Amino acid sequence: MDTDIRMLRLDPANADFRRAVSRAIKSRVQAHVVSEEKRIFTVRSSTDPAQHYVVRLAVPPNGLWLGCCNCPGGQRGYYCQHLTASAALSERLAKQRAATKQAEAA
Ligand SMILES: [Zn+2]
């Protein structure tokens, strides 16, 4: 079932993507790590607190990040705030890891 979900390209040059980023910041959606290694996250729905959506990210070595979310918008191929919140969290974690490595090497 998961395999037929199309991955979206997280392209900062795309206006729809940028809108989803500001939406996520405004509504303060919180992404949570399910598996950092597999880049799986969950994000609570802002309209239904009982509902959680699952976000998967893929980071190709060269190129833009890919991602998909199982919320209604994400399944229709729209950029959603769950996706952008998860990408922001993933980026933050990667930076933290890099900083820790540097501190250890110093
Ligand atoms: Zn979503």
The one-digit pLDDT tens for each residue of the chain (106 residues) are: 444 567 999 999 999 999 999 999 999 999 999 999 999 999 999 888 899 999 999 988 888 999 999 999 999 999 999 999 999 999 999 899 999 999 999 8
**Ligand 1 geometric centre to CA of 46 (Å):** 10
Length of the chain: 106
Range of the domain at 14: 2-105
**Ligand 1 geometric centre to CA of 78 (Å):** 8
**Ligand 1 geometric centre to CA of 54 (Å):** 8
Report the alpha-carbon distance of residue 25 to residue 85 in Å, rounded. 8
Tell me the chain's radius of gyration from C-alpha atoms.
Answer: 14
Domain count, the chain: 1
**Ligand 1 geometric centre to CA of 32 (Å):** 13
pLDDT in the model for residue 1: 44
**Ligand 1 geometric centre to CA of 95 (Å):** 24
Among all chains, which residue has been given the structure tokens 């795309």? 14
Q: Whole-angstrom distance between the N-terminal and C-terminal Cα of the chain?
A: 46
pLDDT in the model for residue 59: 87
**Ligand 1 geometric centre to CA of 71 (Å):** 4
pLDDT in the model for residue 77: 92
**Ligand 1 geometric centre to CA of 24 (Å):** 10
